[in-house]
Amino acid sequence: MEVLQLIAEGLTNAEIADQLFTSKRTVETHRQNILEKPRPKTRRRWLKSPWPMA
């Protein structure tokens, strides 16, 4: 969830990695996994989803 919040704030993978004390590759993997999650088809479902910031 931290990675998602930092992405939403506009940080780069390198900046996120520095803040979370992890590698840039780990952040890239998290970002890819977030993008691969199925998205609700309607806005109402999207707002009710457990990750509405995505």
Give the pLDDT of the chain (54 residues) as one tens digit per residue.
799 899 989 999 999 999 999 999 999 999 998 888 776 666 666 666 665 554
Catalogue all structural domains in the chain, each as residue range(s) with its CATH number.
2-48 (1.10.10)
Report if pTM > 0.75: no
21: helix, strand or coil:
coil
4: exposed, middle or buried (Cβ count in 10 Å: 0-12, 13-18, 19+): middle
Among 15, 46, 36, which Cα is nearest to 7's?
Answer: 15
Angstrom distance (rounded) from CA 42 to CA 9: 24
